[in-house]
Structure 1
Amino acid sequence: MNSRQQIILQLVNDRRRISVSELARASGVSEVTIRQDLNLLEKRSYLKRVHGSAVALESDDVDARMMSNFLLKQKLAQYAASLVNDGETIFIESGSTNALLARYLAERKRITLITVSHYISHLLKETDCEVIVLGGMYQKKSETMVGPLTRMCIQQVHFSKAFIGVDGYHAETGFTGRDMMRADVVNAVLAKGVENIVLTDSSKFGQIQPNPLDPLSQIGRVITDSRLNLDYQHLLKRQSIQVDLVNE
């Protein structure tokens, strides 16, 4: 993916739907070139083309998700890193914001990092950070480990904090995930009773996904952005969850 295609993907993910003509103006190239780029990005399952426009997909590909709200995710990751002390052993799940957190920590702090994400482990290969990658069944699209072996590995390792991603939160359901097997991994982490921290942007609030992440009582803190609706802020606090808001 070249730099122009990365910009196109970021525009599509930020706007959710954008016309070919708008992309051409923003990129400074012809609509013919944009259509060629969109054909390639659609072929690689980064977006969908419809009636002269491009539409964002809910992709499991970490690179694709990274392009959506990148600067905000970077700020969330930097804030989350401030909660980690030198010498700690921490668990970082999968996802784009967690990947940014892992890289930020690996470059600045002396920690041991446990993860199920091969994307994260590859991201840290040039750093001095000690990385433990848990085993299991490899999900190729999300580049993460899942399944009964992963759950067993989680039960056998020790860490003081866990940073997890979510795909939804609603008053009726609590936190939820899109993928059943990745939700199972998160639930195995929550069952350990360590300091569990949800790291997500506010767009996930109000959404309901199929797979519950519980027990809710094991989530102690949420780090999100300042656009979070006040109703959700109050609801989380009533559930004894600390809410840390990061300015955009």
Structure 2
Amino acid sequence: MLNIERYNIILELIEKRKNIKLNEIVEELNISEATARRDLNYLEQEGKIKRVHGGAILVETQEESLDYKKLINYTEKNIIGKKAADLIKNGDIVFLDAGSTTECIVKHLFDKKNLKVVTNGFTHIPELVKLGIETYLLGGKIKMCTGAVVGATAMFTLKNYNFDIVFIGANAVDENGYSTPDPEEVLVKSEAVKRGKKVYFLCDRTKFNKKAFINFATLADGILLTNGDIPENIKKKMEE
């Protein structure tokens, strides 16, 4: 079997399963462990996968549109959104990250009083205004696919604010922390984490044990808010 054929088969397996063990590659392709290691090293160098102990995981390099994200796991995201809204007190100064899960928080703010909300989520604005909430939109570059305001301008604007509570979305979370595909979005997320008295990361179960391009926070930087059980490896790391 040619090298390129093995690479394609390995990538197809990882794309289907999101992760793969070294011994699975050896068995599936009937190759030696040394060859499997070389193949994984090559694919990691090409930016296709991320090596982890005993195997590899898929690197999330592309980001779906916000419209698509809204259709995925809506019920779970709405549950997380309600949990997040319940943590907000009257009079709080809140940062709401852009994203489909954080957007689910907004609809549950109807009974909150005297809030100030700062956001980089362009699509959050109509509902916040409709609810009569004092709202501030960060300036900067707008991502066409998600409506998130990102980049250095947004980051520097954030430095002027201090928040009672911060809600951050993530594309992926594993033992090493939270990650996202977009370097410009990292600037905003990482700065927002620094500005909050309390910080919550919102992740549904599909984000667990995945890794996107760049990490922007560790597990110790805030509290993971989800709707189900946290995987044991992540929970163990949190308890360290």
**1:210 counterpart residue number:** 213
**2:147 counterpart residue number:** 143
Amino acid at match of 1:207: K
Question: Displacement of 1:146 after TM fit?
Answer: 1.0
> Which deviations, in whole Å up to 9, do the C-alpha atoms of 1:13-57 show, x marking residues without a partner?
xxx9xxxxxxxxxxxxxxxxxxxxxxxxxxxxxxxxxxxxxxxxx
1:60-209 pair list within 5 angstroms: 60-105=64-109, 107-110=110-113, 111-171=115-175, 173-192=176-195, 194-209=197-212
Unmatched 5+ stretches in structure 2: 1-15, 17-61
Hey, what's the Cα distance between the residues in 1 that align with 2:140 and 2:181? 19
Hey, what's the Cα distance between the residues in 2 that align with 1:73 and 1:146? 22
Checking the alignment, whether the CA contact within 8 Å between 1:190 and 1:215 is kept in structure 2 is no
Hey, what's the Cα distance between the residues in 1 that align with 2:223 and 2:217? 14
Checking the alignment, whether the CA contact within 8 Å between 1:191 and 1:215 is kept in structure 2 is no
- Go from structure 1 to structure 2 and tell me whether the alpha carbon gap of 1:189 and 1:77 turns closer, same or farther (over 3 Å shift): same
Question: Displacement of 1:144 after TM fit?
Answer: 1.3
1:230 equivalenced with 2:213 (yes/no)? no
- Go from structure 1 to structure 2 and tell me whether the alpha carbon gap of 1:117 and 1:236 turns closer, same or farther (over 3 Å shift): same
CA RMSD of aligned residues (A): 2.0
Hey, what's the Cα distance between the residues in 1 that align with 2:143 and 2:206? 25
3-state secondary structure, aligned to 2:217: coil
- Go from structure 1 to structure 2 and tell me whether the alpha carbon gap of 1:92 and 1:193 turns closer, same or farther (over 3 Å shift): closer
Q: How many residues are matched?
A: 180
Hey, what's the Cα distance between the residues in 2 that align with 1:90 and 1:78? 15
Question: Displacement of 1:215 after TM fit?
Answer: 5.3
Checking the alignment, whether the CA contact within 8 Å between 2:98 and 2:119 is kept in structure 1 is yes
3-state secondary structure, aligned to 2:102: helix
Aligned mate of 1:220, from 214, 219, 222? 222
Amino acid at match of 1:150: A
Hey, what's the Cα distance between the residues in 1 that align with 2:236 and 2:85? 25
Larger Rg over CA atoms = 2
3-state secondary structure, aligned to 1:84: coil
Tell me the TM-score normalized by structure 2: 0.70
Hey, what's the Cα distance between the residues in 2 that align with 1:121 and 1:60? 21
Question: Displacement of 1:188 after TM fit?
Answer: 1.1
Amino acid at match of 1:94: A
- Greater shift, 190-199 or 200-209, is seen at 190-199
- Go from structure 1 to structure 2 and tell me whether the alpha carbon gap of 1:185 and 1:113 turns closer, same or farther (over 3 Å shift): same
Amino acid at match of 1:198: F
Question: Percent same amino acid at aligned positions?
Answer: 20
> Which deviations, in whole Å up to 9, do the C-alpha atoms of 1:90-116 show, x marking residues without a partner?
0000111100102212x1212111101
Unmatched 5+ stretches in structure 1: 1-15, 17-57, 239-248
Runs of 4 or more consecutive aligned structure 1 residues displaced over 3 Å after TM superposition: none
Tell me the TM-score normalized by structure 1: 0.67
Hey, what's the Cα distance between the residues in 1 that align with 2:134 and 2:194? 24
3-state secondary structure, aligned to 1:124: helix
Hey, what's the Cα distance between the residues in 1 that align with 2:185 and 2:228? 27
Question: Displacement of 1:223 after TM fit?
Answer: 0.5
3-state secondary structure, aligned to 2:236: helix
